Amino acid sequence: MVKVVITGDFHIGLVGALDDEIIYDLAGSWWKNKPVLLIGDFVDVGLHHGMQFSQKFPPAEQIERARRIFEIMDVKGYVLGNHDKRFFKEVGLNPFFDILGKPCHYVTIDNTLFYIFHGKSAAESVFAEHNKLMRFVRADTIVAGHSHVLAKMDVLQNNKRVTLIRSGSFVRNAEYATDSGLPPTITGFCEYDTYRCIARLYMVNERGQVTEI
């Protein structure tokens, strides 16, 4: 039995995101000795070619804080998010390659096949992107981030159960969300039990306290 941590959308450095020390503490406690899948947007990286939000510190410091967290994780796979890719487009480098290796979409852990992607839209239907992917993706679990929604659902695909997951975020009151009239989101992460084939959702508050939803 393996419990796989599925998390992302840290947006380190963004005003409105939980302090990255909370994520660091989770990595050293709740996520310790567990395989981790990272779903992108680890940093905020408001560069001049992209959207710019209120940030607590510049991109270089955001990246170093993210790397500090990754060093104590057992990362089995990751993808870059749209915010991480801004840095890539600006300087032509993946700032996490030397510590995390090459991004990948398919990861097998304890005979469970995961397909991970960051996501491209915050569609009204939480699992709209998953439904499109299921036309050509075959996996036991399909995971997306980006929307900052924390959710799970089991569906049947060719008489086989497939778990769909939205991995949540660590952003509650982002400036752009407030300006758009969007409500605060639940901050947290997901954990997938490969033996029971069950996804569990965990809420994390601004003090770093963890509660199963």
pLDDT digits (tens, 9 = 90+) for 111-168: 999 999 999 875 668 999 999 999 999 999 999 999 899 999 999 988 899 999 999 9
Listed range (21-30, 39-48, 70-79) with the worst mean pLDDT? 39-48
pTM as predicted: 0.92
pLDDT at position 203: 97
Q: What is the mean pLDDT of the chain?
A: 89
Half-sphere exposure of 125 (CA within 13 A, CB side): 8
CA distances to 95, 130, 166 from 84, in Å:
8, 22, 19
Q: How confident is the model at residue 84 (pLDDT cuts 50, 70, 90)?
A: confident
Residue 180, pLDDT > 60, answer: no
Residue type, 53: F
Mean pLDDT of 3-17: 94
